[in-house]
Amino acid sequence: MKHYTLPKKELWTGRVSNKWLYLHEKVHCTPLKELPEAQKKSIALLGYACDAGVHRNQGRVGAADGPNVIKSSFGKMPNHLGSNVLLHDVGSVTCTNSDMESAQGQLAEIVTTLLEKKQFPILLGGGHDMAYGHYNGIKKYLDAKKEGQTIGIINFDAHFDLRKNTEQSNSGTPFYQIAKNCEKEGIDFNYLCLGIRKDANDRNLFQTARDLDVIYVMNDTFQIPLLNEITTWINAFAKNVDHIYVTIDLDGFSSAYAPGVSAPSPMGFSPYMVLECLKTIIGSGKLISLDIAEMNPKYDVDGQTAKLAASLVHHVAHAVSES
């Protein structure tokens, strides 16, 4: 595959216990073509090493190096996964010659394959243009089942990423592209945004969100004191779809937690709020796949953002394996 690289064992290092106490001892570096159909719970980590969409969107490039840095940080963390749970690093999708569209297409194909092999995909990026390929991979998998199953997207983000792709697609257009595809197919566009900031979206984006019936929670409301209300909104959203695809844009977090992103701001949300919401989403039993976008090691401080991303993966992997 032109836009695919094999997993790298050298990323997976850390304390050695010889008792699988750490995730680098647990993980299997498994090329996609060697990945078997899972007979028990199995999690697959897939990188999206592409920031061409960030460059097109006038952001700070560097996120192409994000997947490997997240994997390295994750591998050093303690392993609490049961012996009956498998963990695979299946490599990364890459972007050559700024051909983002081909990378998105490759990503979609691999996501479909992972779901067919009964893996739970966790994608690591990379620009948020990853979302377009990720969604299409999930949809292709569900369409093949011919059961008319609906997908709900929950995006933890400061930005709607609903920019119109009239000139060129980029990291700010994926959900507009998805919405337009849904319109063409005559299906509902189910999109919930959590953490939207008024200082990060112009009036046209808010109008587009209204036109597309997007449900969103502003950042000043996306706070722990209002968790019960937000949990109610998440549950109501989940009730109306068959599957949930979660995407977490690291630039939605305050730069106090995530300085290493393409578009940092001190005004973002906290990790604790996201973790509480993830508990509700995973508890619904409808989470089909998840990604983490916009990790930019070039601007990170003491690996702080990488550790945040790895901690989110740690939480999701363990929660999914226990659900």
3-state secondary structure of 54: helix
- φ/ψ of 293, rounded to 5, equals -115, 160
In this structure, which amino acid lies at residue 21?
A: L
Please tell me whether 161 is known to bind a ligand: yes
The tokens describing 27, both together, are 């993980």
Please tell me whether 242 is known to bind a ligand: no
Torsion of CA 165, 169, 173, 176, to 10 degrees: 50
Please tell me whether 159 is known to bind a ligand: yes
**b/e string for 292-322 if b means 16 or more Cβ within 10 A?**
bbbbbbebbeeebbbbbbbebbbbbbbbbbe
Omega into 126 within 30° of 0, i.e. cis?
A: yes
Please tell me whether 128 is known to bind a ligand: yes
DSSP string spanning 204-215? HHHHHHHHTT-E
- Taking Cα atoms as reference points, which of 237, 42, 244 lies closest to residue 149? 244
Q: Rounded to whole angstroms, what are the CA distances from 199 to 34, 195, 205?
A: 46, 12, 12
Please tell me whether 199 is known to bind a ligand: no
Please tell me whether 211 is known to bind a ligand: no
The tokens describing 268, both together, are 């973002």
Query: Which regions of 26-119 does DSSP assign to beta strands (E)?
Result: 28-29, 42-49, 86-94
Specify binding-site residues.
128, 157, 159, 161, 249, 251
Which residues contribute to the annotated binding site for Mn(2+)?
A: 128, 157, 159, 161, 249, 251
